[in-house]
Structure 1
């Protein structure tokens, strides 16, 4: 459970005693002693870095902390350091603390920084946790697994999108709803930047939105060539709901995030393009009305 930040105190137990021991050891050295051992997680505590469907649009991630020790732990500041990002990821809500009872887990939401495209895709995340106790606090550092394997693909997509800006910028710029049975129109605007060439191959359907009979191999074909000096292009994508069960709209997380297939420097790739919060609301309302379960 995440709570507003205040210096919560552990009941005396294994976790609090562990932090106290680390603090005592850190302060008892004398000149000439061997270097102090870096503090690590209490035995039985593990961390993972995951990204849920709801985290994709705002570029959040979750630090999943599992407390397999015999005592509760309290976590203050959290940051994720990874060479694939230009800065550490920190708590979305600064100043909060999270108490993790023994045998339980907690997810701490962090905000991802912009990617660093000078870094390779094969870096590894490291999580730094501030552990709070009655007699103070200490920072511990631990390697974090990425069980869903989301960081490397995210880095690759966003760096591809950054490289694409040498040729063009892409954005969804308008939406026109339709009556039930007729396709709506989603406006995609492509603005050449004059510095490179690329091909916008097509736009893939989502788990909520399809393009009706215009879909080929799961995508709406465009084959739009971008050349230096060309003017802007506006394409209207014909939208129809892929499904009409109410919970698909009520629980939507990625239905308005479209994968766009491109070719850049002769190589195929994909970028993600979100319609934005305002247009997302318009599209979800249209799906509900089109399917007959809107208010």
Structure 2
């Protein structure tokens, strides 16, 4: 018993200093919580060090967006009150009004929405970033920063957007989910309706005519594996010559390219199909691809069809 009493006394002696420290450091009831101190911002423009580049994530093509990536090379945080991108190749500036902070020595991406392109320049320079920056005294300064096209996506977007704009004047393309031709497949209908760019022509591309559009082929995607009319895998589905001009409807066959649940649930572009087209105008023929993005209801229907095809016993039977 004497040993137990001694152990209890030693434990009490050890706890008493801790209890005393806690009591001394405790804040009074109802006392305001002190706000964390903010790191000082740059005192002048001379203390700022900002570089910028552009790139697109997997989600950006579907929403018509692009990322402005800002790197803060200064020793203080960078508070961006607004940002916009200006270029003669854009019909309007890209504007972001939400405030954003880039910590010292770090990088942050700011998503922006792309406007319509201004076409004519085959290789436009990347746009200029115009940033409203808050200084330490609360004043706002404007900073202009040249941007870099990180992996050529800005130039690629402009080229594709101008080609799609010219094509849209001649034909409107859309996707529809339809019942599959065979169990274990995904059925897609491509509809090409006449566009609103002028009077219909006979395809000759003569003077005063808007021109003509001819469908060439339709691709697969990361989720949709293209099949030919016999159900065999192909790199792309060719469009018959007699079905190539708008108005037309094409029944397309696909098999699941992936069936892992994560890939389907995290899909960004798996229901986007690239359609090869040839445009004929007075200037000649131009070939390219148009990315056809389904509306939300069609996208959901196609993803449901992928899941159903993945679960179909017929798919296992065909290997």
Q: 1:169 maps to which residue?
A: 172
TM superposition shift of 1:239: 2.2
Q: 1:32 maps to which residue?
A: none
The separation in 2 between residues aligned to 1:162 and 1:99, in whole angstroms, is 36
Q: 1:111 maps to which residue?
A: 113
Taking CA–CA contacts closer than 8 Å with sequence separation of 6 or more, which of the two structures ends up with the larger relative contact order? Answer: 1
Structure showing greater radius of gyration is 2
Q: Does residue 276 of structure 1 match 2:295?
A: yes
Q: Does residue 67 of structure 1 match 2:43?
A: no
Q: 2:160 aligns with which of 136, 157, 170?
A: 157
Q: Find the residue that maps to 1:159 and give its secondary structure.
A: helix
Q: 2:276 maps to which residue?
A: 261
5+ residue gaps, structure 1, are 1-8, 23-40
The separation in 2 between residues aligned to 1:90 and 1:147, in whole angstroms, is 20
Distance 1:100 1:218, change over 3 A: same
Per-residue Cα deviation, 1:135-192 (whole angstroms, up to 9, x for no partner): 31111001100112112121111211222234322222x2125599432221111123
Distance 1:261 1:216, change over 3 A: farther
TM superposition shift of 1:232: 2.0
TM superposition shift of 1:267: 3.1
TM superposition shift of 1:116: 0.9
Q: Find the residue that maps to 1:163 and give its secondary structure.
A: helix
Distance 1:51 1:252, change over 3 A: same
The separation in 2 between residues aligned to 1:18 and 1:180, in whole angstroms, is 68
More helix by share: 2
Cα contact 2:184–2:310 (8 A) shared by 1: no
Q: 1:36 maps to which residue?
A: none
Cα contact 2:213–2:246 (8 A) shared by 1: no
Q: 2:48 maps to which residue?
A: 42
5+ residue gaps, structure 2, are 1-36, 201-209, 313-319
The separation in 2 between residues aligned to 1:115 and 1:108, in whole angstroms, is 20
Q: 1:189 maps to which residue?
A: 191
TM superposition shift of 1:245: 1.5
The separation in 2 between residues aligned to 1:177 and 1:248, in whole angstroms, is 23
Q: Does residue 248 of structure 1 match 2:229?
A: no
The separation in 2 between residues aligned to 1:234 and 1:218, in whole angstroms, is 20
Distance 1:129 1:225, change over 3 A: farther
Cα contact 2:84–2:95 (8 A) shared by 1: yes
TM superposition shift of 1:66: 1.2
The number of aligned residues is 256
Q: 2:239 maps to which residue?
A: 222
Distance 1:231 1:113, change over 3 A: closer
Q: 1:209 aligns with which of 196, 221, 224?
A: 224
TM-score, normalised with respect to structure 1: 0.78
Q: 1:235 aligns with which of 233, 239, 250?
A: 250
Distance 1:11 1:245, change over 3 A: same
The separation in 2 between residues aligned to 1:179 and 1:223, in whole angstroms, is 18
Q: Find the residue that maps to 1:16 and give its secondary structure.
A: coil
Q: 2:315 maps to which residue?
A: none
Q: 1:137 maps to which residue?
A: 140
TM superposition shift of 1:213: 4.5
